[in-house]
Amino acid sequence: MALLQISEPGQSQAPHQRRLAVGIDLGTTNSLVASVMSGTATVLKDEDGQWSIPSVVHYAQDSPVVVGRKAQENAADDPLNTIRSAKRLMGKGASDIDSSWLSEHYHFDMDSGSLPAFKTAAGNKTAIDVSSAILSKLRATAEETLGGDLVGAVITVPAYFDDAQRQATKDAAALSGIHVLRLLNEPTAAAVAYGLDSGTDGVVAIYDLGGGTFDISLLKMQRGVFEVLATAGNTALGGDDFDNAVADWIQAQAGVSQLTDKGARRQLLALSRSLKESLSSDSSAAYDLTLENGTQFKGELSLDVFNEIIEPLFKNTLPPCRQVLRDAGVAKTDVQAVVMVGGSTRVPLVRSKVGEFFDQKVLTDIDPDQVVAVGAAIQADVLAGNKPDSDLLLLDVIPLSLGLETMGGLVEKVVPRNTTIPIARAQEFTTYKDGQTAMALHVVQGERELVTDCRSLAKFELRGIPPRTAGACRIQVLFQVDADGLLTVSALEKESGVVASIDVKPSYGLSEGEIEQMLKASMEHASEDVQKRALAEQRVEARRTMEALNSALQADGDQHLSAEERADLDGLLQNLALTAESENHDAIKLAIEKLEAGSSVFVERRMNASVKQLMAGQELSALENALVTGETSGESGQT
């Protein structure tokens, strides 16, 4: 008898064969790749036996791209072609270069499109290109170690990466030939690794200070469910800033105001980094560096002085910590554990001050450099289908509210910030004018009440709306945010069935720190924004009232009003039009009330005329039937 080999659709035909998937921590300073092997998530080592590779890429003319330690060796001799910390420019635009310390170390091409590009011997390279080279190196390491092709990877990103930065990460993965199973927030990845190891339930703070970014997240962990309650951070703060501060201090001690040679600055930064690492365990560290131009840096840096240098930078991490507690409605005493993530949390000052802030000892029993990659590997193993019975569930949140522009330049928030994703949320809108057949939809992101104070994400149009009375059409707008935090918006007119949609891939160029600035501004201007919104709403109401009355007057004003009555009504309309341009909310409201009172006689006469017309020549039974079925000839009211 012949035997047929049968397997589940999409699954391996060989019994017990695992689908190869990895977790990737694409870091600013170092990057790692991990996979679940023999039931344990393990960070994979490269050909040099190292479990992390520097996020450094060297480009040379007519030569293969070099990534990692070998690339790092070229930093002093060929600094302009040795790119590091490119993650800082992921999803950024040309306007962000000047505000970044990267401008001091590299030459940029600002004319290569919307993305700034590093000028190298191998041509212009964007941050996406550099990240793609790093991901290709990690992919090669994984496939060589695991002995097969990858089905996909979970790639981690800072929780505060916006849509543009997340899309840039996915673009880099696509260039490297990696299928992205999911983009996972770095703090959430740490929670996966930490929560599964310790079995802790309750609220946990994830303090993630890496080489170039900072995140603080509050997660509620219960029975394998990881829910992000709130998140905040700074996309341009990390260990690189500590290194630059130490380098500036050393220059000042040596009496050197500025190093014009980029290679010399690189050498000084490398020295600063080694001093920082030494002071994680020692009370002082000596330095002796002589550059090719003869400049000498020699002396000693004590732990106390180092702490004084970096403390102002560290203090910038505390406002986001307070913010997440407020956003989640959680007191410090409710936080059961504080998990330290990222190489910069090895700094003693950081550990002690974070412990003081949360009034408890911070947890560092899991390697802070590896925990993110380990958590991503665990999630990748689940998404690859190797653990179909796994009850692991991740619930991330969106960092900023999503909404639409409405009349008056106001923002109607459809999906509030800190909403758990993936999410699909719909809201109904209607037309503003009689006979309106199209609607322009403007998708915005932010916490302020006016569109001008928020970030524009996308614009699209819905056409083919039935021409009906203002307010009669029902248009459902659906916001869908997927597990990667990417947004799709669609609009449906319910009567006709016409639909329009757009995948929101915002243009690169969110200015550095804009997200945290937007949140701060929303709190600082909360009272002012409420007043502005009330004023804008009153102006919209004034225009709506004037348009409705002008339409009625044009239709049959001469039939129901004397010349004197019409003149009085025109005067009230003119008064409202002028008052609506003022900044006085109460005055606009009063002018509306005066117009409504002054037009009441006209409205009553129109209504009586409509009723008489309806009743004329009809039997009472026919009239009753018409009223029951709603077959009147009167105008529809606005919803």
Residue 275 pLDDT greater than 50, yes or no: yes
End-to-end CA distance of the chain, in Å? Answer: 73
The more confident residue out of 34 and 251 is: 34
Q: In the chain, where does the domain assigned CATH 2.60.34.10 lie?
A: 399-511
208 an active-site residue?
yes
The more confident residue out of 199 and 293 is: 293
What mean pLDDT comes out for the span 391-396? 58
In percent, how much of the chain has pLDDT > 70? 82
Counting every residue written for the chain, the total comes to 639
Residue 326 pLDDT greater than 50, yes or no: yes
In percent, how much of the chain has pLDDT > 90? 24
Of 168-182, 330-344, 610-624, the least confident: 610-624
The more confident residue out of 393 and 134 is: 134
The pLDDT score that the predictor gives to residue 601 is 79
pLDDT digits (tens, 9 = 90+) for 136-172: 999 999 999 999 999 999 999 987 787 778 888 988 9
The pLDDT score that the predictor gives to residue 5 is 39
The pLDDT score that the predictor gives to residue 591 is 83
Report residue 636's pLDDT band, with 50, 70 and 90 as the boundaries: very low
What is the fold, at CATH topology level, of the domain defined by 527-629?
Substrate Binding Domain Of Dnak; Chain:A; Domain 2 (1.20.1270)
186 an active-site residue?
yes
CA-based nearest residue to 573, from 554, 592, 601: 592
Q: Give CATH for domain 399-511.
A: 2.60.34.10
Whether the CB-CB separation of 72 and 56 falls below 8 Å is answered with yes
Residue 197 pLDDT greater than 80, yes or no: no
The more confident residue out of 489 and 104 is: 489
Q: Which of 96, 162, 208, 484 is catalytic?
A: 208
pLDDT digits (tens, 9 = 90+) for 47-56: 889 989 999 9
Q: In the chain, where does the domain assigned CATH 3.90.640.10 lie?
A: 239-313
25 an active-site residue?
yes
What mean pLDDT comes out for the span 88-108? 74
CA-based nearest residue to 269, from 426, 101, 22, 81: 101
Q: Which of 25, 78, 493, 512 is catalytic?
A: 25
The pLDDT score that the predictor gives to residue 39 is 83
Amino acid at 303: L
Q: Which of 87, 125, 262, 276 is catalytic?
A: 87
**Residues 6+ away with beta carbon under 8 Å from 209:** 237, 238, 239, 317, 341, 342, 344, 345, 350
Report residue 520's pLDDT band, with 50, 70 and 90 as the boundaries: low
Q: In the chain, where does the domain assigned CATH 1.20.1270.10 lie?
A: 527-629
What mean pLDDT comes out for the span 453-476? 84
Q: Which of 46, 96, 186, 381 is catalytic?
A: 186
Q: Encoding tokens for residue 3?
A: 């035997």
Following DSSP, what letter does each residue of 300-352 receive, concatenated? EEEHHHHHHHHHHHHHTTHHHHHHHHHHHT--GGGEEEEEEESGGGGSHHHHH
What mean pLDDT comes out for the span 463-469? 86
Q: What is the mean pLDDT of the chain?
A: 80
pLDDT digits (tens, 9 = 90+) for 381-390: 988 888 765 5
Of 27-41, 271-285, 532-546, the least confident: 532-546
Q: How far apart are CA 539 and CA 581, in angstroms?
A: 8
What is the fold, at CATH topology level, of the domain defined by 239-313?
Actin; Chain A, domain 4 (3.90.640)
The pLDDT score that the predictor gives to residue 634 is 39
Q: Give CATH for domain 21-237+316-396.
A: 3.30.420.40
Return the DSSP state at 366: S
The more confident residue out of 435 and 14 is: 435
